[in-house]
Amino acid sequence: MAPSTPRLVVPIDLKKKAWDQSLPLHNRWHPLIPPVAEVHTDEVFRVEMVDWTGGVIGDNHSATDVQFIDLSITHYLSGPIRVVDKDGVPAMPGDLLVVEICNLGPLPGDEWGYTATFDRENGGGFLTDHFPCATKAIWYFEGIYAYSPQIPGTAPSAELLNIWNERESHVQENGLQTLKLCEVLHSRPLANLPSAKGCVLGKIKEGTEEWERIANEAARTIPGRENGGNCDIKNLSRGSKVYLPVFVEGANLSSGDMHFSQGDGEVSFCGAIEMSGFLELKCDIIRGGMKEYLTPMGPTPLHVNPIFEIGPVEPRFSEWLVFEGISVDESGRQHFLDASVAYKRAVLNAIDYLHKFGYSKEQAYLLLSCCPCEGRISGIVDAPNAMATLAIPTAIFDQDIRPKASKVPVGPRVLKRPDVLKCSYDGNLPITKNPSATS
Amino acid sequence: MAPSTPRLVVPIDLKKKAWDQSLPLHNRWHPLIPPVAEVHTDEVFRVEMVDWTGGVIGDNHSATDVQFIDLSITHYLSGPIRVVDKDGVPAMPGDLLVVEICNLGPLPGDEWGYTATFDRENGGGFLTDHFPCATKAIWYFEGIYAYSPQIPGTAPSAELLNIWNERESHVQENGLQTLKLCEVLHSRPLANLPSAKGCVLGKIKEGTEEWERIANEAARTIPGRENGGNCDIKNLSRGSKVYLPVFVEGANLSSGDMHFSQGDGEVSFCGAIEMSGFLELKCDIIRGGMKEYLTPMGPTPLHVNPIFEIGPVEPRFSEWLVFEGISVDESGRQHFLDASVAYKRAVLNAIDYLHKFGYSKEQAYLLLSCCPCEGRISGIVDAPNAMATLAIPTAIFDQDIRPKASKVPVGPRVLKRPDVLKCSYDGNLPITKNPSATS
Amino acid sequence: MAPSTPRLVVPIDLKKKAWDQSLPLHNRWHPLIPPVAEVHTDEVFRVEMVDWTGGVIGDNHSATDVQFIDLSITHYLSGPIRVVDKDGVPAMPGDLLVVEICNLGPLPGDEWGYTATFDRENGGGFLTDHFPCATKAIWYFEGIYAYSPQIPGTAPSAELLNIWNERESHVQENGLQTLKLCEVLHSRPLANLPSAKGCVLGKIKEGTEEWERIANEAARTIPGRENGGNCDIKNLSRGSKVYLPVFVEGANLSSGDMHFSQGDGEVSFCGAIEMSGFLELKCDIIRGGMKEYLTPMGPTPLHVNPIFEIGPVEPRFSEWLVFEGISVDESGRQHFLDASVAYKRAVLNAIDYLHKFGYSKEQAYLLLSCCPCEGRISGIVDAPNAMATLAIPTAIFDQDIRPKASKVPVGPRVLKRPDVLKCSYDGNLPITKNPSATS
Amino acid sequence: MAPSTPRLVVPIDLKKKAWDQSLPLHNRWHPLIPPVAEVHTDEVFRVEMVDWTGGVIGDNHSATDVQFIDLSITHYLSGPIRVVDKDGVPAMPGDLLVVEICNLGPLPGDEWGYTATFDRENGGGFLTDHFPCATKAIWYFEGIYAYSPQIPGTAPSAELLNIWNERESHVQENGLQTLKLCEVLHSRPLANLPSAKGCVLGKIKEGTEEWERIANEAARTIPGRENGGNCDIKNLSRGSKVYLPVFVEGANLSSGDMHFSQGDGEVSFCGAIEMSGFLELKCDIIRGGMKEYLTPMGPTPLHVNPIFEIGPVEPRFSEWLVFEGISVDESGRQHFLDASVAYKRAVLNAIDYLHKFGYSKEQAYLLLSCCPCEGRISGIVDAPNAMATLAIPTAIFDQDIRPKASKVPVGPRVLKRPDVLKCSYDGNLPITKNPSATS
């Protein structure tokens, strides 16, 4: 065994568009998107990735780019990467692909990120009724610690893709009814159904018949599903492992949408510190592992979910302030054991609380999206109230934010630890708000 | 200041019924339930509590008691306790009551607990469709570490009580419609509306006119609400603080339903390790703190939630195996950003996985209810899939439960660390199942 | 198996002297001190203990008691306790005794402790040249978390006792020479050799011939040795285990000198928060475990050391400020890879640093003795400098103690977290200094 | 503020010798070694470094290179780097230089490291009497987590250099006497006094008169001293800060001797996982900070020590097995409160214990040098015994290494977690021992 310099299998040229990269990216899941590279197990390889918008959001002090972004053409993934074992035998459907995250970081020359909320009329977010305008915050990295990568996903088989498209179209069709009950979200797309608009399909040439067919079948990459995908689990970092089911020969592993930091739920939608970057990965194959370790939960053997393993190097905080929410919405209406409503309440409670300490509500919303806060399902059985909590590590603030009999005077505040969140919240221009958006 | 031996303000005689205690317990929230004791701020005082069923569940190997329990007469609280400051001025509506948890533990002579699932026809639980029978597991303590107490709650004002009763009756009335959409829960009560049946009202004499009136207004203590109550936040233990809104003069603090250990969600409903026990508490009053620190979210100033502060002594685990669930139910049906469905899936995935390592599914279900696992809302924005995760500390098992290319042979297993969960899972009688319940 | 209420095997009456207890204490190690109680393996039992001075140090604001204490008659242990297995067979020499710490806490009515430094002429301490006067600080507990118990020890065999007495007398005799090189310590006793003065021998009647003989052979209990004893490892608390070699039949387990909290090194000598208290323990016997697990290091099979196992519930802090010391003493003289000198320098550096933030040097010295700081041997190989470090958790202060370009103005300070260290440092009377001692 | 790609200020060409680098390295401290680069505060810059031997130790399976290494020409540092503020004003004597570690890692193409022990006749180590032969273990990295860098140091002033040379020569001269008492170390050099042999002085040309003069004055870089230097504090990694005193204009910061991982004490001398690598640093200057924050301890204002700040991202382990040592040496002889002897005993106890689980003693020695174990000064006041402990995280083994009544059978073992320590301990050739060295 020799020392291993990770082999760069998917390079990115940040000056080029996603579809002009030497190994073109893709923003849909489809079994027929051909692999752009091949790796063998036990090899450490490097994958570079654009940020999830492919460079549409800029390092500037205007949120206009956020306001008018075309979300149909976003969320690019690098890959697919075909995985074979030492004898050249590819991962096969039914295997479990073990992906170990060896290293990750920003791309040289691109050490910055952003957190944003979309306009209510263009994507919105978890609290879009409370924060209807596009906002943006820019963060500059100083090499500290990048974590919370996007989880890689494997390509779906044709059968799994059909299952996705069918069940998600069901939500789309029944949308109005659901909305009436939820009253949570307004003009947001209910699902991200296949559509040729904005489709980027890697090596498959646009304009061909093949492209047309695949583009109309291929699943959006935004929601996480059986194949992994956009799970956004905040604790995945160096030393973690992902166990992904394999649905097509070679596994066809893709990855993208890297985050510098995020809180549980990534609540503002574009809520992590979004960035371009690289991953150094190592794969292993557990032959027959799907049957051995995963249990299908649904009508077919394909209804499974990945497993993750988190290691001992995540940042640890010793003290937390915890906000609670119950499944009663802002109008005072009771929902039945609804954890989504309860978590929304917990987040709103935390935003209002932080506002009392000198942050604007928009700052607090973005902060809770991207700082290492934990969102917990605390009670899911004591009818009628689900109970969700949001725990914030107190160490990230420059002041003691705990309730006190004699509260310190409120003024403009900065986060305590620029070494955790290289925050542009400088009191002058913490968040760039597009004026026309608020009017 | 002199050394402080906690003053016992609410004693319990385990040989007596809840209503026969010298300071009688209560199992409803109502502003008119009179305090049974008074404490002043900065005093450390001790409150003893029965287990939440008041001794109905026994230390034996039959689950018949669980199967036929009358849930209308359960969930007893010790108190109310009136809180005054050093000058004798009581906590007043609008204040924030700070309750510090100094110590806690089992009652001498009663060092055991239980975890159970209710019959689907009698209470059920989060996964009642999958686990419809009453089951019970007994745990013997050996003094190790007791944590996760029930959160104390303050008495509601009459106005807040009305709000509760009205909004919860709304769910009851609209139950069928909700159920049709959720398809999660069956014969479970949708809310716990006021009812004189099973009512225990402390010093208020049963049979009097006052009793009748209050019993028909008083709120069930089972769900957590604005006043705190049954929040079951798993990390509350020694050194934690609770900031409770005050709704009535004197605050009228009550506590009960103590847990030795629980996982996020307490998923099997009677899912913690339930126990009798004591709390040693210390109170402080933040005058006007509700306005200062809490933001009403709803039509009245009463729509607030408590805040919690977690200290540095909770058990820490360094490695976790994480199961994911998305908001697609077991029938393959897509739900729209529904965190409750996603968490149900994550828990079911974990149960099935552990089953592969030699645990029965019932064992796994009870274990995930009461071990220190974490339930996270990982993604709540990537429509249509909410993403919830259940993270299990790997150190609680006696075997390496991570997926491996060459899996160890499966056999009957015991938990690795009897010093964390003094578990009766001995391979012979891990869980007592009532035979008639399964047929 | 039935629920286990710990059986009280050694009760303490705080109104009585150590030798007047119903089960009299002992302050010497000797194989012939008879057991006062017997326990069997798997039984959880409770041992009560006086503080290490047996009540000589009082809860008052004068350090006179500290100044004139007779150290020859201190350090009382409860026990010995004979340990037998389920069949009644005692632990035998060569076995390993496993002692699990199930619970611990203060004695009811005695919830306070103290930290002190001795007069240079009467015991001194690690920094006695810098802090020659007797000082005392009183701490009141509020039930929070008591940890760092004295490690229990087993009785030595006659042979092991001889080894101790011989080797320690060697130091006493060669004291002057050592002192000349060390120049660290002055009038402190170099060892604690056997002496009948102050001897308390449990059930052995004073004045008898047997008492005389044993008193002149019995080892002082102050230093830790092969049998365990006064190891003062700061992380031992609930859930920890101690593996003690057994030297006499029945093991004859004793314990005492309980601490509420201490830093690594317990540097001021009486440096922990000293207290009376109780331990709830559970024993197991590993037959033949000495040979199986321990390796004698010295001329006989008795030259072994205990092993400890620390569990996951110790308090965790996420940020530390670290002070370094090298093996160059305060006169500028170079010592050769001497970790004791290096640690002394690290502690002095930390004291001087904290002094700049408003603490008196005496306060800082006591604080570093009893707060949960960590003393590390960082470098022991880069001749001529040993490198030791003292790491202080920043969270225990009420101010940011990190170096900054614009330092906050200095004033009288209190510790940030009264919930960790219930500190009497109130700016008025933080430490009681005996006036005559300083002159 | 723009995104910051770290500027490479000291590049390394691994194919060239230390003195042939474009910016030549140095292996002595002297104020007249001229800076090779200049950085300003708030700039993130990158420094590359050779391994401490400058490539003498090879990636092969022979320890001959370790056995015959010429230690006089080792321990190369990159730098000095002159630090100026934003206005171009250099750091001045009396300032405090704040060095933040933003990132670190191996050099591309050189992702491996080694741990070794030196021959007793050539450097030796902490346990050289027990392990007199040269050994070597090779480790291959897979990008996981590199931490524990060498602490950077600032150049000494001429005055400080004189102090060092004088005090260290004193040890050299009195060596025999010290040795007689210590009996710990044999043919090891007692200090590393200035000597022209092996001197590498950066930009100063060898052969010139200036070179001769400086070479005979310059201090060895191996021991840590007032200026920082070789402190080897194991927890310094990403997010940590070092506060270094400034002794010469511009600070003249140097760094080198990078470690992938190390245990407290780095006990085998070449005991970390030694590597080449890069650091990304950011500096700040606290004007007048030496006086403000540091207290001289010795005859001059120069007798100070750096301060360190450790952040929340170090790996955390939840369970530890702890070995104890007292200040009684292997011959049974009592030493007086000698922490170095106590730590030696603790390490020897741990080695012998691990040997019982299937590791060779040499493997265990190397492992304890380089794994994240903690060396603590537990007791330094209970005369005559100092007490030191060595705590090993149990999670790094592939077996349960805790003592048990029924021990698992012993066989050849591998470390449990190749993702923490990419260990070449494969049962065949765990450690390469030079045959002639053992005879």
Residue with tokens 């956009």: A230
Query: Beta strand pairing status for D44-49 and A37-40?
Result: unpaired
Q: What is the DSSP letter of C228?
A: B
Nearest to C363 by CA among C58, C131, C67: C131
Same structural domain for residues A329 and A274?
no
Question: Hey, are the CB atoms on A377 and B382 less than 8 Å from each other?
Answer: no
Is A438 inside any structural domain? Answer: no
Provide the shortest C-alpha distance from residue B317 to chain D (in Å). Answer: 5
Nearest to D339 by CA among C346, B232, C196: C346
Token pair for residue C88?
């009644």
Q: Which of B183-192, C12-21, C227-236 has the highest mean pLDDT?
A: C12-21
**B439 contact partners, CB below 8 Å, separation of at least 6:** none
| pLDDT tens column, A38-52 | 999 978 899 999 999
Domain closes at, from C285, C309, C333: C309
Low-confidence winner among B90-104, B135-149, D59-73 (lowest mean pLDDT) = B135-149
In this predicted structure, the answer to whether residue C369 has a pLDDT above a threshold of 80 is: yes
Cα angle: C215, vertex C216, C219; to 5 degrees: 75
In this predicted structure, the answer to whether residue C427 has a pLDDT above a threshold of 50 is: no
Q: Residue D93 phi/psi, 5° resolution?
A: -50, 135
| Summary mean pLDDT of chain D | 78
User: Could you tell me how far CA A70 lies from the centroid of its own chain?
Assistant: 18
Q: Which residue has the higher pLDDT, D277 or B146?
A: D277
Q: What is the extent of the structural domain holding A348?
A: 320-419
CATH number, residue B353 = 3.10.28
In this predicted structure, the answer to whether residue A435 has a pLDDT above a threshold of 50 is: no
Strand order through the sheet with A37-40:
A37-40, A77-84, A253-256, A153-154
**A317 contacts in C (CB within 8 Å)?**
318
Provide the shortest C-alpha distance from residue C316 to chain A (in Å). Answer: 6
Question: Hey, are the CB atoms on B167 and A332 less than 8 Å from each other?
Answer: yes
Same structural domain for residues D296 and D327?
no
| pLDDT tens column, B302-325 | 888 888 888 666 667 778 888 988
pLDDT at A413: 36
Helix H or strand E encompassing B7: strand B7-10
Nearest to C227 by CA among C277, C162, C284, C161: C161
User: What's the rounded Cα separation, in Å, for the pair C17 and C77?
Assistant: 13
Question: Hey, are the CB atoms on C144 and B238 less than 8 Å from each other?
Answer: yes
User: What's the rounded Cα separation, in Å, for the pair D143 and C275?
Assistant: 49
Question: Hey, are the CB atoms on A239 and D1 less than 8 Å from each other?
Answer: no
* Chain C nearest-CA residue for A319: C317
Domain closes at, from C309, C343, C362: C309
In this predicted structure, the answer to whether residue B427 has a pLDDT above a threshold of 60 is: no
Distances (CA, A) of B75 to B18, B70, B112, B141: 10, 11, 18, 22
As a whole number, mean pLDDT of residues B418-424 equals 27
Strand order through the sheet with A112-117:
A258-259, A270-275, A112-117, A135-140, A432-433
pLDDT at B421: 31
DSSP bridge pairs for C275: C258
| pLDDT tens column, A258-275 | 787 777 877 777 777 788
In this predicted structure, the answer to whether residue C10 has a pLDDT above a threshold of 90 is: yes
CB distance D97 to D54 below 8 Å: no
Is C353 inside any structural domain? Answer: yes
Q: Which residue has the higher pLDDT, B431 or C120?
A: C120
**Ramachandran region, residue A113 (left: φ > 0; alpha: ψ -120 to 50; beta: rest):** beta
Nearest to B312 among A231, A233, A318 (CB): A318
pLDDT at D232: 61
User: What's the rounded Cα separation, in Å, for the pair D368 and C354?
Assistant: 33
Q: If DSSP codes are grouped into helix, strand and coil, which group holds residue A254?
A: strand
Token pair for residue B118?
């209710």
Same structural domain for residues A172 and A30?
yes
Same structural domain for residues B172 and B201?
yes
CB distance A33 to A199 below 8 Å: no
- Report the percent of chain C where pLDDT is more than 90: 21
- Report the percent of chain C where pLDDT is more than 70: 81
In this predicted structure, the answer to whether residue A35 has a pLDDT above a threshold of 90 is: yes
As a whole number, mean pLDDT of residues D403-426 equals 40
How long is chain A? 439
In this predicted structure, the answer to whether residue C43 has a pLDDT above a threshold of 70 is: yes
Q: Which residue has the higher pLDDT, C268 or A212?
A: A212
**B235 contacts in C (CB within 8 Å)?**
none
Question: Hey, are the CB atoms on D419 and A239 less than 8 Å from each other?
Answer: yes
| Summary mean pLDDT of chain C | 78
Question: Hey, are the CB atoms on A4 and D108 less than 8 Å from each other?
Answer: no
Question: Hey, are the CB atoms on D108 and A238 less than 8 Å from each other?
Answer: no
In this predicted structure, the answer to whether residue C180 has a pLDDT above a threshold of 70 is: no
Interface test with B, best of D318, D402, D419 (most B CBs within 10 A): D318
Q: Which residue has the higher pLDDT, D237 or A300?
A: A300
Nearest to A15 by CA among A46, A54, A53, A69: A54
In this predicted structure, the answer to whether residue A418 has a pLDDT above a threshold of 80 is: no
In D, what residues contact A, Cβ < 8 A? Answer: 1-6, 44, 59, 100, 102-103, 105, 108-112, 140-145, 238-239, 241, 280, 282, 311-317, 395, 419-420, 424
Q: Does the pTM of the predicted model rise above 0.90?
A: no
pLDDT at A172: 60
Is A427 inside any structural domain? Answer: no
In single-letter form, the type of residue at position A293 comes to: Y
Alpha helices in D174-242 (DSSP H): 175-182, 209-217
Same structural domain for residues C124 and C260?
yes
Q: Which residue has the higher pLDDT, D198 or D232?
A: D198
Same structural domain for residues C223 and C288?
yes
pLDDT at B315: 67
As a whole number, mean pLDDT of residues A326-350 equals 89
User: What's the rounded Cα separation, in Å, for the pair C293 and C270?
Assistant: 33
Q: Which of A289-293, B175-179, C342-346, D176-180 has the highest mean pLDDT?
A: C342-346
Q: Is the peptide bond before C315 cis (omega within 30 degrees of 0)?
A: no
Token pair for residue C212?
């005389």
- Report the percent of chain A where pLDDT is more than 70: 81
Low-confidence winner among D22-26, D37-41, D325-329 (lowest mean pLDDT) = D325-329
**D234 contacts in C (CB within 8 Å)?**
378
**B192 contact partners, CB below 8 Å, separation of at least 6:** A383, A384, B168, B219, B220, B222, B223
CB distance C265 to C346 below 8 Å: no
Confidence band of C305 (pLDDT split at 50, 70, 90): confident
| Summary mean pLDDT of chain B | 78
Q: Which chains lie within 8 Å of chain A at 3 or more CB pairs, if any? A: B, C, D
Is A1 inside any structural domain? Answer: no
pLDDT at C104: 83
Confidence band of A174 (pLDDT split at 50, 70, 90): low
Q: DSSP readout, B143-172?
A: SS----PPPPEEPPPHHHHHHHHHHHHHHH
As a whole number, mean pLDDT of residues C320-343 equals 88
DSSP bridge pairs for C314: none
| pLDDT tens column, D332-368 | 888 888 999 999 999 999 999 988 888 888 888 888 8
User: What's the rounded Cα separation, in Å, for the pair A282 and A104?
Assistant: 12
Low-confidence winner among A85-99, B251-265, D23-37 (lowest mean pLDDT) = B251-265
pLDDT at B150: 53
As a whole number, mean pLDDT of residues A155-184 equals 65
Residue with tokens 């027959």: A288
As a whole number, mean pLDDT of residues C7-35 equals 92
Same structural domain for residues D206 and D266?
yes
pLDDT at B87: 93
Is B275 inside any structural domain? Answer: yes
Q: Residue D367 phi/psi, 5° resolution?
A: -60, -45
Q: Residue D107 phi/psi, 5° resolution?
A: -80, 140
* Chain D nearest-CA residue for C303: D332
B72-82 CB burial, b ≥16 within 10 A, e <16: ebbbbbbbbbb
Q: DSSP readout, C122-172?
A: TT--TTTTT--S-EEEEEE--SS----PPPPEEPPPHHHHHHHHHHHHHHH
**B414 contacts in D (CB within 8 Å)?**
none
DSSP bridge pairs for A24: none
Is C30 inside any structural domain? Answer: yes
As a whole number, mean pLDDT of residues B378-390 equals 84
Question: Hey, are the CB atoms on C316 and A318 less than 8 Å from each other?
Answer: yes
Q: Return the number of other C-beta atoms located less than 10 Å from residue D413's C-beta.
A: 18
CB distance C235 to C148 below 8 Å: yes
| pLDDT tens column, B118-167 | 888 887 778 888 888 888 878 877 655 444 445 567 888 888 888 888 88
Confidence band of A59 (pLDDT split at 50, 70, 90): confident
pLDDT at C114: 87
Distances (CA, A) of A279 to A45, A107, D193, D238: 8, 10, 46, 18
Confidence band of B177 (pLDDT split at 50, 70, 90): very low
| pLDDT tens column, B191-212 | 667 888 888 999 999 889 999 9
Confidence band of B432 (pLDDT split at 50, 70, 90): very low
Same structural domain for residues D302 and D327?
no
Is B269 inside any structural domain? Answer: yes
Size of interface A-D (CB pairs under 8 A): 99
User: What's the rounded Cα separation, in Å, for the pair B396 and B181?
Assistant: 37
Is B190 inside any structural domain? Answer: yes
Same structural domain for residues B158 and B252?
yes
In this predicted structure, the answer to whether residue D72 has a pLDDT above a threshold of 80 is: yes
As a whole number, mean pLDDT of residues A209-235 equals 82
CB distance D98 to D42 below 8 Å: no
Q: Which residue has the higher pLDDT, C400 or D253?
A: D253
Q: Return the number of other C-beta atoms located less than 10 Å from residue C157's C-beta.
A: 17
Nearest to A191 among B284, B339, B383 (CB): B383
CATH number, residue D266 = 2.60.120.580
Per the structure, how many domains does chain B have? 2
Nearest to A142 among D44, D142, D317 (CB): D44
- Report the percent of chain A where pLDDT is more than 90: 20
**A213 contact partners, CB below 8 Å, separation of at least 6:** none
Domain closes at, from B288, B309, B330: B309
Same structural domain for residues C167 and C292?
yes
In this predicted structure, the answer to whether residue A108 has a pLDDT above a threshold of 70 is: yes
DSSP bridge pairs for D374: D391
User: What's the rounded Cα separation, in Å, for the pair B26 and B255?
Assistant: 10
Same structural domain for residues D324 and D304?
no
In this predicted structure, the answer to whether residue A133 has a pLDDT above a threshold of 70 is: yes
Q: What is the DSSP letter of D73?
A: G
As a whole number, mean pLDDT of residues D307-331 equals 81
Same structural domain for residues D115 and D69?
yes
Question: Hey, are the CB atoms on C4 and B238 less than 8 Å from each other?
Answer: no
**Crossing angle (nearest 10°) for helices C361-370 and C339-355:** 130
